[in-house]
Amino acid sequence: MIGTTTEEAAANGADVRERVLETASKLFYERSVRAVGVDLVVAEAGVAKTSLYRHFRTKDDLIAAFLMREDEDFWNTWEAVAQKNAADPISELEAHLLWIGERVGRPNYRGCPQINVAAEFPEADHPARKVAYDHKAELRRRLTVLAERLGARKPGELGGQLAVLVNGAFVSSQMLTSEEAIPLLQHMAHALVEAGCVQDAKPCGND
């Protein structure tokens, strides 16, 4: 049969979209978003510019897709860790700080993509900035839920403090070695938890 079926065309389209997004994501993260133009993306991906615009109407849409891709990867890891430690909130917190500390300590780590892009695009209505804001709001929400499970007097306050701690590690990644990132995060988190959960002279997390 000559030509391609609808299914084959769709599969080819999905393959092109993924190749463009994979290439753009690598370039955006390594070189910064503003430094990478559409021409470089299509050249590195080996596709026509019309193919890129068929899947992403503008560069801004491509940037937003890059951040959503990073967002999905981050939360997939978070969910896997949370499920393994669901029975104990302090163990879950420590486990999250372990993998986040490992990520921060990687030699090729160039910071949190959401923070990086938000810094490049200060416009509040930029589509990528909205993705970045939503990601950070979700991080704080999840940490606040953990704070509630830990028995914090003010869960929102402790959740916010833990979010600042995590984001501070992302921003400070270039100044942290892989050996110190994890203990710094865990020790500081324990201090915040102890201060925020002391109630009736009982240790945090106890009944």
pTM: 0.86
Tell me the Cα Rg of the chain.
21
pLDDT in tens, the chain (207 residues): 445 444 334 446 679 999 999 999 999 999 999 999 999 999 999 999 999 999 999 999 999 999 999 999 999 999 999 999 999 999 999 999 999 999 998 888 999 999 999 999 888 888 888 999 999 999 999 999 999 999 999 999 999 999 999 999 999 988 887 688 999 999 999 999 999 996 543 444 444
Q: Domains in the chain, start-ordered, CATH in brackets?
A: 1-56 (1.10.10.60), 61-207 (1.10.357.10)
- pLDDT of 174 reads 85
- pLDDT of 1 reads 41
The encoded tokens of residue 145 equal 């839920």
- pLDDT of 169 reads 94
- pLDDT of 128 reads 87
